[in-house]
Homo-oligomer: A and B are copies of this chain.
Amino acid sequence: MGRRYTVISCDCHAGATYPEGGFLDYVGPAHRELLREEMIRVSERQRVLMERLFAREFMARQDGTEAATKGGRSGAWDPARRIKELEADGIVAEVIFPDGSQDNAPPFMASAGPGAVGADHALQSVGAAAYNRWLADFVGGTPGRHAGVALITIHDVQESVGQIRWAKEHGLRGVLLPAGVGDLPFYHHPRYEPIWQACEELELPLHTHVGSATPDYGDLPGSTTLFATESMWFSHRPFWFLVWGAVFERHPRLKMVFAEQGADWVPELLKLLDSMYRNMFRHEQQRLSLPPSEYWRRQCAVEAMFLTRREVDLRHEIGVENLLWGSDYPHYEGSWPNSARCIRDALDGVPEAEARAILGGNAARIYGFDLAELDPIAARIGPEVAAI
């Protein structure tokens, strides 16, 4: 049998099942009834939203949708089913984000950011703690296969630091930064310094994920399409705040990953920022020792979902070491359960060493996955090198 790729999906989702159990067991008695009520409301709202966001005809066209919907999404909260489905899709390990697009989102809008309409900051903190505890348990059985990304809230930065330290102590491997700040100052403000400091010190990569903390478009015709039009840009946005805010300069070991938000935007953006640094805004050279593209190379990575052929063709401009692959499991709109075909479409003809980096090597380096443990599993279930 031929050699195989070790594939790590850097964009998967998980969350406890509703309406019973799940997160209810992870909040204290004081919040349990409130959460039960919220779960019923959210469940209905999510159903309506999803129907709008993904037109039926699109859903029906997706290969494998039927297989996926036949209980498939229960992999979001069932670890045994999850690992089986990941392996069947050729994936040996994964990075886990909250599940915002099903009815099992973190409690109390904890992943919706400080600007979310109707969010209560204190309850968001309760929800983040519940999600993080649940996630630590969820990945705790097979830590070598899952890197869980912790939720933080940012309205109280000392609390954020506590959340980050808790995450590290309980085996979580990254931190999800709300992409939007609501009425709080943007990320170039010194108030966030303790967050950057803690993530650098504890070697927990920061993340933004598409769809988190975009503005509220109201319940109007076109609103969901507007959300989809803008959500990627709002997820990229913290990058240039951390660049011009000198965060990457002050914290050279801080890492940041931009998840499920395309990758073709990176080359033009880096050209623009470098040109600003070298020409019209050269006074920034007094604060920043490197041009923006070098902070990107040194400290950032992007996971596109779907990774397209066009993005792979741009890999040297994005950085072969800065590009990650993800399946979006268990979401319908991702590559699951057809990841091998999607990988072939995107990476056909790419030199093996580069494909290895993009499909798993970069993820292993950033998240601390042990390839000595994963390669033998991949030798059994990974996509064959000769077939890509």
Find A245's partner among B221, B245, B272, B280 (CB 8 Å cutoff): B221
Q: Counting CB contacts under 8 A, is A29 at the interface?
A: no
Q: List A residues 225-256 near B (Cβ within 8 Å).
A: 225-226, 228-230, 233, 237, 240-241, 244-246
What separation, in Å, do the CA atoms of A279 and B58 have in the docked complex? 7
Count of interface residues, chain A, beta-carbon cutoff 8 Å: 40
In the bound complex, do residue B58 and residue A188 qualify as a contact, i.e. CB atoms below 8 Å apart?
no
A198 at the interface (CB under 8 A from B): no
Complex: how many Å from CA A246 to CA B276? 36
Give the docked Cα–Cα distance between A233 and B190 (Å): 25
* A230 CB to nearest chain B CB (Å): 8
Q: A245-B221, A279-B58 are in contact. Are A186 and B226 (CB under 8 A)?
A: yes
- Stretch of A11-19, A281-289, A294-302 contacting B (4+ beta carbons < 8 Å): A281-289
Tell me which residues across on chain B come within 8 A of A230, comparing CB atoms: 237, 240
Tell which of B54, B217, B220, B281 touches A55, judged by Cβ atoms closer than 8 Å.
B281
Are A222's CB and B284's CB within 8 A? yes
**Residues of B contacting A188 in the complex (Cβ-Cβ under 8 angstroms):** 217, 220-223, 226
Interchain residue pairs with CB less than 8 A apart (22): A52-B283, A55-B280, A55-B282, A55-B283, A58-B279, A185-B218, A188-B221, A188-B226, A189-B218, A189-B220, A221-B246, A221-B287, A222-B241, A222-B284, A224-B281, A225-B244, A226-B241, A226-B245, A228-B276, A228-B281, A229-B240, A233-B233
Whether A54 contacts B245 in the complex (CB less than 8 A), given A188-B222, A221-B188, comes out as no
User: Which A residues are within 8 Å of any B CB, using their own CB?
Assistant: 52, 54-55, 57-58, 185-186, 188-190, 215, 217-218, 220-226, 228-230, 233, 237, 240-241, 244-246, 272-273, 276, 279-284, 287
How far in angstroms is the closest Cβ of chain B from A366?
26
Known: A186-B226, A188-B222, A230-B240. 6 other contacts (CB 8 A): A188-B217, A188-B221, A224-B281, A225-B276, A228-B276, A229-B273
Q: How far is the CA of A58 from the CA of B58 in the complex (A)?
A: 51
Minimum C-beta distance from A101 to chain B (A): 13
How near does chain B come to A210, taking the closest CB pair, in angstroms?
A: 14
Using CB atoms, name the residue of chain B closest to A281. B225
Q: How far is the CB of A117 from chain B (nearest CB, A)?
A: 12
| Closest B residue, CB atoms, query A56 | B283
Across the interface, do B228 and A58 meet the contact criterion of CB distance under 8 Å?
no
Contact of B222 with A246 in the complex, beta carbons under 8 Å: yes
Chain B, residue nearest A247 (CB): B222
Q: CA–CA, A69 to B188, complex, Å? A: 34
Q: Which of A233, A273, A283 has the most CB of B within 10 A?
A: A283
Rounded to whole angstroms, the CA-CA distance of A190 and B218 in the bound complex is 12
Which one of B58, B215, B228 contacts A282 once the chains associate, using CB atoms below 8 Å? B58
Q: Please name all residues of chain B whose beta carbon is closer than 8 Å to the beta carbon of A229 when the two chains form the complex.
A: 240, 244, 272-273, 276
